[in-house]
């Protein structure tokens, strides 16, 4: 009986590992990493976040985040957002999420606070580029020492600058993010005055941790951290990723075929 159990466990692990390996080695259209991290890693390279990274299940963040208390204005903004998930969930027929019902851009910081699927980091002499699988968007983070703009025209993805605070930690500041976007899938709002800080800390060659702090005094009574050391793993070099683009036409088809029929009676 004990021998049968040992054989069962050994075979289980072998099957599981082989499934993982095959999933990571497709030449095209990989969906992301699944399963636990394998084995010890090498030391982190200095001032280098290059590579394709995946937060796995931890990046999906389907129910959104528990925010800091709202200001009066924040409460008003939150009431206008009717999310399909989270603590203020409504029926899918009443969902007014601009991303999933209209095909509006996800925007920043929602692109790291919802469906953070695999993303590639590319470093140039004066930029860090983030290339996201979700929505196939990119962000430019300037690392040439320039100051953030003062009261700029809002952009869906804001204005970002970054600096290394040590050889393994890049800190990014972003301002000027358009208040038409939601913060997350729970419909938490933000204003155009939101300041977002991301800290990318490379722990070792295979692992990075992401911490995000939001500061938006018009909407929230204090700064808060929707992500605290989210673990992100390096994918094999040369990984081709699936497209994952929530198009307006697909959003409309879903509303027509399913969401419109889901109204409670």
Partner 1 sequence: MQKMFLGVLIAAVGVLLVSVPLIAHHGAAGLDTGKEVTMKGTVTEWIWSNPHCFLQFDAKDDTGTVRNWAVETQNPTTMTQRGWSRTLFKVGDEVTVTIEPAKNGQPIGRILNVVLANGQKLVAATATTPEPAR
Q: Which residues bind partner 1 (CB under 8 A)?
A: 4, 7-8, 11-12, 15-16, 19, 23, 29, 31-32, 34-35, 56-57, 60, 62-63, 84-86, 89-93, 95, 100, 115, 117, 133, 185, 242, 244-247, 250-251, 253-254, 257-258, 261-265
Which one, 134 or 220, has the nearer CB to partner 1? Answer: 134
CA torsion 12-18-19-22 (nearest 10°) is 180
Dist. CA 187–CA 81, nearest whole Å: 6
Question: Smallest distance, Å, CB 139 to partner 1?
Answer: 20
Supply the minimum distance, in Å, between the C-beta of residue 262 and partner 1: 5
Question: Least distance in Å: CB of 76 to partner 1?
Answer: 23
Residue 89 beta carbon to partner 1: minimum distance, rounded to whole angstroms: 5
Query: Which candidate, 227, 201, 202, 205, places its Cα nearest to that of 214?
Result: 227
Compare residues 90 and 122 and give the one whose CB is closer to partner 1: 90
Residues 6+ apart with CB under 8 A from 119: 52, 53, 54, 130, 131, 132, 133
Task: Measure Cα distances from 215 to 58, 136, 174, 195, 198 in Å.
Answer: 23, 27, 11, 5, 12
Beta-bridge partners for 174: 160, 196
CA distance 72 to 86: 21
Comparing CB distances to partner 1, the nearer of 95 and 198 is: 95
For partner 1, give the closer residue by CB, 115 or 206: 115
Is 166 or 250 the residue whose CB approaches partner 1 more closely? 250
For residue 226, count CB atoms less than 10 angstroms from its CB and return exposed for 0-12, middle for 13-18, buried for 19 or more. Answer: buried
Mind giving me the DSSP string for 210-225?
Answer: EEEEEE-TTTBSS-EE
In the complex with partner 1, which residue's Cβ is closer, 13 or 165?
Answer: 13
In the complex, least distance from residue 72 CB atom to partner 1, rounded to whole angstroms: 27
CB of residue 207 vs partner 1: minimum separation in angstroms?
17
């Amino acid at each position: 009986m004990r021998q049968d159990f040992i054989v069962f466990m050994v075979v289980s692990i072998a099957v599981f590992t082989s499934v993982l390996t095959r999933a990571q080695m497709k030449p095209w259209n990989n969906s992301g990493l699944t399963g636990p991290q394998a084995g010890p890693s090498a030391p982190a390279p200095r001032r280098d976040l290059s590579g394709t990274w995946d937060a796995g299940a931890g990046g999906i963040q389907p129910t959104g985040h528990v925010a800091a208390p709202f200001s009066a204005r924040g409460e008003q903004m939150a009431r206008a957002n009717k999310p399909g998930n989270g603590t203020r969930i409504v029926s899918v027929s009443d969902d007014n999420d601009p991303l999933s019902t209209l095909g509006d851009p996800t925007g920043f910081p929602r692109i790291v606070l919802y469906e953070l699927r695999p993303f590639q980091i590319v470093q140039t002499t004066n930029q860090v580029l983030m290339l996201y699988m979700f929505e196939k968007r990119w962000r430019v983070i300037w690392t040439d020492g320039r100051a953030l703009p003062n009261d700029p025209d809002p952009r869906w993805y804001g204005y970002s600058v970054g600096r290394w605070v040590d050889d393994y930690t890049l800190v990014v500041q972003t301002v000027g993010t358009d208040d038409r976007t939601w913060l997350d899938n729970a419909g938490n709002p933000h204003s155009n005055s939101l300041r977002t800080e991301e800290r990318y800390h490379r722990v070792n060659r295979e692992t990075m941790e992401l911490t995000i702090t939001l500061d938006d005094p018009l909407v929230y009574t204090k700064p808060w951290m929707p992500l605290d050391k989210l673990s992100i793993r390096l994918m094999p070099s040369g990984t081709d990723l699936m497209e994952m683009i929530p198009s307006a036409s697909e959003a409309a088809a879903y509303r027509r075929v399913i969401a419109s029929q889901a109204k409670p009676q």
